[in-house]
Chain A
């Protein structure tokens, strides 16, 4: 079980998840630092992410897009507000239009990621996200839900195909 705990604060609109991995702190840091590894886990499986810019330094920014099952693209950006390698990073995360420009009225999520060694070769990762408005959260959720919906549809297709072959 990688997830140790999760905590939701409804009043403050924030969410914190704590996970532990059997890997050294430096290795877990790479998961965030290396865009090729990051894009293997950031987007939902049916909405894989592609980072076309990843300036992993304080003040730097990233841009990425997620590609949906129908080839549709959803663009986002990050702005790194603090990077203390390999233990802490903070960034703002928002949505972007087709040209990659931030969508101004969509609000931002602020995320604080900390990595600590709990024992040799074992790392605790804490990610704290806070939301400033609902549209941001809602968009994220809709993407996650679209995935769930497509999977459910796929299962129905599979069941129907089985029936047809009986």
Chain B
């Protein structure tokens, strides 16, 4: 169950981090392979510092990890955290599947 795996504040950080389109885009890029912050910054029409801030928010939500390598900071997506976001949506899906079943039952009573 979600409660066992994530505290409410962890979930808040997770979704706050994913609520921004630039940050979602960074996660997508960092899933396929690791990127340096400067390589990421080249993709967005914003300052290096702004991209660095986005990466910091993602790091706090455990969506990415940052590793210093030489003069570069390498960013890699944390697949576990992405999996957790999926798990929350899976739980929501269960609620809707139950609702659909109950609607079908109500409609079946008409006959």
Contact = CB atoms under 8 A, between A and B. Distances in A.
Interface of A: 2-3, 6, 8, 10-13, 15, 17, 19, 21-23, 27-28, 31, 37, 40-42, 44-45, 125, 127, 129, 131-135, 137-138, 140-142, 144-145, 148-149
Contacts of B42: none
A125 B102 CA distance: 14
Given A3-B97, A41-B103, A44-B95, A145 B1 contact: yes
Nearest to A23: B107
Interface string B1-33: 111000010011011101100001001100000
B99 A22 contact: no
Contacts of A140: 92, 95
A138 B12 CA distance: 9
A138 B11 contact: yes
A interface: dominant SS = mixed
A10 B110 contact: no
Given A8-B90, A15-B92, A138-B88, A42 B99 contact: yes
